[in-house]
Amino acid sequence: MKRLLRHRLFWPIVALVLLIALNTASRPSFLSITINDGALYGSLVDILRNSAQLMLVAVGMMLVIATRGIDLSVGAVLAVSGAVTLTWIAGSSSPGSIETVATAIALGLGVTLILGLWNGFLVSVVGIQPIIATLVLMFAGRGVAMLITQGQITTITSAPYTFIASGHLLGLPFALYISVLVVLVVSLLVRRTALGMLIESVGINPEASRLAGVRSRGIIWGVYAVSGLLAGGAGILYSSNIMAADANNAGLNIELDAILAVVIGGTSLMGGKFSISGTVIGVLILQTLTSTITFLGIPPAVTPVFKAVVVIVVCLLQSRRVRELILRRRKVSRPSPVEPLEAVMSR
Amino acid sequence: MSAPTTSLTGTRAAVFVSAVRSRTASWASVLATVGMLVLMLAIGQAAFGDFITPRLISSLFLNNSFLIVLAVGMTFVILTGGIDLSVGSVIAFSGLLGAQLLAHGWPSIVVIPLMILSGTVIGAITGVMVAFFEIQPFIASLAGMFLARGLAYVVSLKSLPISDGGVDWLIATQFTVGQWSVTPGVILALLFVACAFWVLHYTRFGRTVYAIGGNAQSARLMGLSVTRTTFIVYLISGTCAGVAGLIFASYTGSGNPLAGLGMELDAIAAVVIGGTILTGGSGYVLGSLCGVLVYGLIQITITYMSIDSWWTYIVIGALLLIFVVFQRLLGARRRA
């Protein structure tokens, strides 16, 4: 029991279960799943489907944060990928053909990969602080997206493109497959190879890991590239969902939601430790929270208040000061009064 | 700021030289910003003719008065090595709160302090989280940002007009001398800059702010009240945001839940362009003022050139990049 309470993911999972319980209590049909035309429908399925965008961005953000960095540009990158893809499809002669859509997606992802590499270059080679290096693209990226769409909201009709966000495959939403695939691939890459450990070592001390023979520059460069690429994927999901490229509003504040999801999942902003399962749960908590607010009949605009409460509670639970206060009350004596920050954060 | 007298290693002369050099480096960033400002004005004058007019300079200050106040508060926070993302949302909250209370018939003499206080409260919440609970400033002020934006929507879901003499006075009154004109809002903003300059450079509190940004651990070991100072810094930033909300509400004649969206980034960009280093410990509030003016001038120039407004984002992004790389080069030379 004690070990269960101590587990890193205990409180996030409790929060998720509480949210689902709250929803079920206020509207018992919340848990029900209906089968229509061989496809599953229901609130839970919707949550899983809608969380795909944030999932992609958050997984990329998690890798960046693990190296003690941050990527503020994901929202702008998301907008750029939507703009590039939709402008290509809108300009082609056959917007409905699979080839056009595939080329457009490859183009959109390619551009975002370049943007990610640019961020990585600024951070790892030029040595600019991550927050300011990505701030550059956060500003410029949205300008570039507007430049591509010429300030218009580009809209298209293309059946294969609609399928990405709204289609079903074997009864489940196609978007869900994308997010599961991304999570699986990233998990395999970082947990079945040494890559994850190397990323964490760079996050703990880039200089020391370089001296120990870790090519930290390449790793840092890589995580920003992956973050850019995943944000690009999220941009394609977003634009496919509304079938429009909105350079102003696409991915607005998604960088904050992604950072929030990562932090809720127990990954410390200090770098050096990350949890994929935690991030997945963090994303689901945020998505369920958004749905809950809609179900309870509260104006969606008020959502930020609840997010603020979640941030404050989660951060306080992770805070060293609060943990010390709780420990003192329990009168558990510890051999060393000052623990290393990493050790505290990782619990 | 490294004071020459606290040397423990190296000779006094070497320490003095390094102190002078580090001071030149931080001034060099500000000088670069001033140079940028002069250059932009010169190019504008050469390209459009009749560009540097009293009217243009006056409107530059008038249109950016709220951003100046925001940048002043942000300078304090960034000097300690922190960041405050909540200021843009506070503008919406403070403005909307004022508009709602005025609509309910409250007198402006009560409403105006309440508007400013609303910012102080958000700043206090962020400050408690950062200073006492040691939560990273980014995340703590993110909470403040969500809270203020959400509370703005709780106050009202749509924009409310303000037609109150007391609030309007800040912008509607214009003191004109020849073609120069200035509003109480601008005077207020400049007063904030002057106060901040005095506090940062001539008080013990100001020196502590720089010390924390230099190295919080050392500052604590020197017996400086790091926790209290950090808390007050966020209080100042929140209060500045409240005042900026007041000026913005008066400027737009309304309270709007979408007001100040992304304005925290404008403020951070202005501070960085003004030569303050994001890791803290180095920078000047006058630099931030120049940063805001550069920012405003870019917008005016783009309007003058009648090219699409999205170029503003691209130009500001590019400018940020140039300044950051410039600072990086200066920093590298300093360390060598």
Residues B235-244 have pLDDT tens digits of 999 999 999 9
d(CA B54, CA B52): 7
Q: Are A267 and A285 in contact (CB under 8 A)?
A: no
User: Helices H, strands E: what count in chain B?
Assistant: 14, 4
Contacts of A315 in chain B (CB under 8 A): 129, 133, 135, 139-140, 143
Return per-residue pLDDT of chain A as tens, 347 residues.
566 666 777 778 888 888 888 888 887 777 777 777 777 777 888 888 889 999 999 999 999 999 988 898 999 999 999 999 988 888 888 777 888 888 889 999 999 999 999 999 999 888 888 888 888 888 888 888 888 888 788 887 777 888 877 877 887 888 889 999 999 999 999 888 888 888 888 888 878 888 888 888 889 999 999 999 999 999 999 988 887 778 777 777 888 889 889 988 888 777 788 889 999 999 999 888 888 887 777 887 888 888 888 888 877 877 777 777 777 766 544 444 444 444 444 44
CA dihedral sign, ordered B82, A342, A56, A303:
negative
Report the gap between the CA of A89 and the closest CA in chain B (Å): 23
- Worst-scoring range by mean pLDDT, A51-60, B74-83, B100-109? B100-109
| Interface ipTM | 0.76
Contacts of B310 in chain A (CB under 8 A): 142-143, 146-147, 151, 247
Longest dimension (CA), chain B: 68
Q: Give pLDDT, residue B298.
A: 86
Q: Which residue of A has its CA nearest to B326?
A: A128
Q: Which residue of B has its CA nearest to A312?
A: B143
Contacts of A263 in chain B (CB under 8 A): 139
Q: Are B170 and B250 in contact (CB under 8 A)?
A: yes
Number of residues assigned to chain A: 347
Task: Give the distance from CA B13 to its chain's centroid.
Answer: 36
Give the best residue of B273, B321, B323 to mutate against chain A (max A CB count within 10 A): B321
Most confident region among A77-81, B50-54, B311-315 by mean pLDDT: A77-81
Neighbours of B157 (CB within 10 A): 12
In this prediction, residue B6 has a pLDDT band, given cuts at 50, 70 and 90, of very low
| Token digits of residue A88 | 């290509």
3 state SS of A333: coil
Longest dimension (CA), chain A: 73
Q: Give pLDDT, residue B317.
A: 85
Report the gap between the CA of A303 and the closest CA in chain B (Å): 6
State the residue for tokens 């990158």: A77
Q: Tell whether B146 is within 8 A of chain A (Cβ).
A: yes
Strands (E), chain A: 34-36, 39-41, 154-155, 168-169, 172-173, 244-245
Q: Are B318 and A140 a contacting pair at CB < 8 A?
A: yes
Q: Are B185 and B251 in contact (CB under 8 A)?
A: yes
In this prediction, residue B22 has a pLDDT band, given cuts at 50, 70 and 90, of low
Sequence letter at residue B286:
L
Contacts of B314 in chain A (CB under 8 A): 139-140, 143-144, 147
| Token digits of residue B107 | 């007198």
Q: Which of residues 28-87 of A touch B (CB under 8 A)?
A: 70
| Token digits of residue B240 | 């500045």
Pick the residue with more confidence: B108 or A182?
A: A182
Q: Which of residues 29-48 of B touch A (CB under 8 A)?
A: none
Q: Is the pTM of this model over 0.90?
A: no
Helix or strand holding residue B182 (H, E): strand B180-182
Neighbours of B224 (CB within 10 A): 19
Q: Which of residues 298-337 of A touch B (CB under 8 A)?
A: 299, 301-308, 311-312, 315-316, 318-322
Residues B158-205 pLDDT 10s: 888 887 777 777 777 778 777 788 888 899 999 999 999 999 999 999
Q: pLDDT at residue B3 above 50?
A: no
User: Angle, to 10 degrees, between the axis of helix B137-155 and the axis of helix A254-264?
Assistant: 120
Q: Tell whether B308 is within 8 A of chain A (Cβ).
A: yes
Report the gap between the CA of A212 and the closest CA in chain B (Å): 24
3 state SS of A180: helix
Q: Which residue of B has its CA nearest to A325?
A: B133
Task: Give the distance from CA A202 to its chain's centroid.
Answer: 21
Q: Which residue of A has its CA nearest to B327?
A: A128
d(CA B307, CA B305): 5
Q: Give pLDDT, residue B291.
A: 92
Convert A52-93 into a string of H (helix), E (strand) and C (coil).
HHHHHHHHHHHHHHHCCCCCCCHHHHHHHHHHHHHHHHHHCC
Q: Are B133 and A319 a contacting pair at CB < 8 A?
A: yes
Q: pLDDT at residue B1 above 60?
A: no
Contacts for A207 with CB less than 8 Å, ≥ 6 apart: none
Question: In whole angstroms, how far apart are CA B214 and each of A56, A129, A270?
Answer: 37, 16, 19
